[in-house]
Amino acid sequence: MEVNVTDLRKKFAELFGADGEAKAYFAPGRVNLIGEHTDYNGGHVFPCALTIGTYGIIRPRQDRTIRFYSLNFSDMGIVETSLDDLAPSESAGWTNYPKGIFWTFEKRGYHLETGADILIYGNIPAGSGLSSSASLEVLTGLMLRDTFGFDIPMADLALIGQYSENNFNGMNCGIMDQFASAMGKKDCAIFLDTNTLNYEYAPVKLPDATIVITNSNVKHSLVSSAYNDRRRESETALKDLQSVTQIQTLGDLTEDAFEQYKDAIKDPICRKRAKHAVYENQRTIKAVEALKKNDIATFGKLINASHVSLRDDYETSCPETDLLAELAWNVPGVYGSRITGGGFGGCTVSIVKKESVDLFIQTLDKAYTSKTGIKAEFYVVDIGDGAHALD
Ligand code: GLA
């Protein structure tokens, strides 16, 4: 996992030549502690940036060519495109993410005269749901901003990343992942109101515990279409509710107000989706209050309730992540555990007493493999800073 930036620079010089100044950047992945599928429902989220993420080396060119190379997709070799040909294509593979950022810069009026040579390396496990694509988007935005001298606040780089993912890559994601990658802060989670983009850093001080991410190593297919379905179902629920109460988003409702108005939602599936969005938002607010009071037990209970709601009402969990969460709940010393991120596979996040981490890993490792035949992976993670230049 350790990344040596000098080695990345050497590789860059080998591929693209050694003349001219190349600069190095990093953008992190994220883990969301609580507030899942609330970011496109006008609710709160509580993610933190990780110390793993995506590294980039960039040097501007004199012409309109863009050349990309990723050490993670070295079989694709150097992928070449032009500033005059910024349309998504299947053959462009991973480069559709950075290409989308070039495209979005143009759309937003940040005009680029010349292209660039770009080397990428990421150390987020593939398909883990820890936001490798968002980190690549934010990284590219930051590299373009600095290389071509634009004045763009970091939060806007997050919005550029989201716009690109929605409109260039066809994934209708919310703002959470890009925001966490751009705005993260060491040892803090970001309490973000996705309705206003107001945010506050909350120190994650866990006196006797640590954050453990467990990778189920499964990614079920159709993730982006199932995700887009959830968005539509939530929107349908909102429209029905708006016929009986004046709200802008599901995040405007308390639990009591939801119970009062819920019968206006005609479709029972949409009603369940809205229930999750409303309750999860309120859980997130309560979880941050609990964390601020150092009440880790309450924080953990809310995390568990989030999993149950994602499993039963939002239906974005899957048997493998359900198993990981249930196993975790039964290990002494675990405050809380739930699926994290978009869902349908990926990772769980658990708050585990330091003295119980070994037991936690041993227990889940054994039981998970024996029940599923799949090997889980465990990462005891640190919370890192948002995207930044490395020199
Ligand atoms: C994905 C999306 C985010 C968010 C989560 C679910 O990670 O990119 O915007 O909606 O799913 O909370």
> Ligand 1 pocket: which of 177, 310, 339 to mutate (most atoms <8 Å of CB)?
177
Quick check: CB of 174 below 6 Å from ligand 1? Answer: yes
What pLDDT shows up at residue 236?
98
Quick check: CB of 173 below 6 Å from ligand 1? Answer: yes
> Ligand 1 pocket: which of 32, 33, 36, 39 to mutate (most atoms <8 Å of CB)?
39
Instruction: Decide which of 2 and 283 is more confident.
Output: 283
Identify whether the C-beta of residue 310 lies closer than 8 Å to the C-beta of residue 322. no
Q: Tell me, rounded to whole angstroms, the distance of Cα 294 from its chain centroid.
A: 25
State in Å: Cα 66 to ligand 1 middle. Answer: 29
> Ligand 1 pocket: which of 38, 137, 169, 176 to mutate (most atoms <8 Å of CB)?
176
Radius of gyration of the chain (CA): 21
366's CB contacts (< 8 A; 6+ apart) are none
What pLDDT shows up at residue 225?
86
Span 63-73, average pLDDT: 98
What pLDDT shows up at residue 222?
66
pLDDT in tens, 106-161: 999 999 999 999 999 999 998 899 999 999 999 999 999 999 999 999 999 999 99
pLDDT in tens, 366-377: 999 999 999 999
Span 239-260, average pLDDT: 98
> What separation in angstroms does the CA of 182 have from each of 22, 28, 82, 130, 178?
21, 8, 26, 14, 6
124 Rama sector, left if φ>0, alpha if ψ -120 to 50, beta otherwise? beta
**Residue 220: pLDDT above 80?**
no
124's CB contacts (< 8 A; 6+ apart) are 29, 50, 52, 53, 54, 130, 131, 132, 135
What pLDDT shows up at residue 257?
98
What pLDDT shows up at residue 223?
73
Span 76-82, average pLDDT: 98
pLDDT in tens, 166-186: 999 998 999 999 999 999 999
What pLDDT shows up at residue 205?
87
State in Å: Cα 36 to ligand 1 middle. Answer: 7
3 state SS of 122: strand
Closest CA to 259 of 285, 241, 286: 241
What pLDDT shows up at residue 391?
78
**Burial class for 336, CB neighbours closer than 10 Å (0-12, 13-18, 19+):** buried
**Residue 2: pLDDT above 80?**
no
Quick check: CB of 240 below 6 Å from ligand 1? Answer: no
**Residue 1: pLDDT above 70?**
no
Quick check: CB of 37 below 6 Å from ligand 1? Answer: yes
What pLDDT shows up at residue 239?
98
Burial 53-78 (b: 16+ CB within 10 A, else e): bbbbbbbbeeeeebbbbbeeeeeeee
Quick check: CB of 165 below 6 Å from ligand 1? Answer: no
What pLDDT shows up at residue 124?
95
Beta strands in the chain (DSSP E): 23-32, 44-45, 47-60, 65-70, 79-82, 116-122, 188-193, 199-203, 209-219, 334-340, 345-353, 377-380, 388-389
Q: Tell me, rounded to whole angstroms, the distance of Cα 89 from its chain centroid.
A: 23
Residue found under tokens 């429209």: 239
Query: Could you list the active site residues?
Result: 177
What pLDDT shows up at residue 240?
98
pLDDT in tens, 322-349: 999 999 999 999 999 999 999 999 999 9
What pLDDT shows up at residue 224?
78
State in Å: Cα 17 to ligand 1 middle. Answer: 38
Nearest CA to ligand 1 atom 8: 173
What pLDDT shows up at residue 138?
99
State in Å: Cα 31 to ligand 1 middle. Answer: 10
How is 226-292 classified by DSSP, letter by letter? Answer: HHHHHHHHHHHHHHHHHTTS--SSGGG--HHHHHHHGGG--SHHHHHHHHHHHHHHHHHHHHHHHHH
Residue found under tokens 């996040």: 349
- According to DSSP, residue 376 is labeled -
CB atoms within 10 A of CB 198: 10
In sequence order, what are the beta bridge partners of 49?
A: 30
What pLDDT shows up at residue 4?
94
State in Å: Cα 175 to ligand 1 middle. Answer: 8
Q: How many CA atoms lie within 13 A of 193 on its CB side?
A: 9
Instruction: Return the CATH number of the domain spanning residue range 5-204+385-389.
Output: 3.30.230.10
Quick check: CB of 341 below 6 Å from ligand 1? Answer: yes
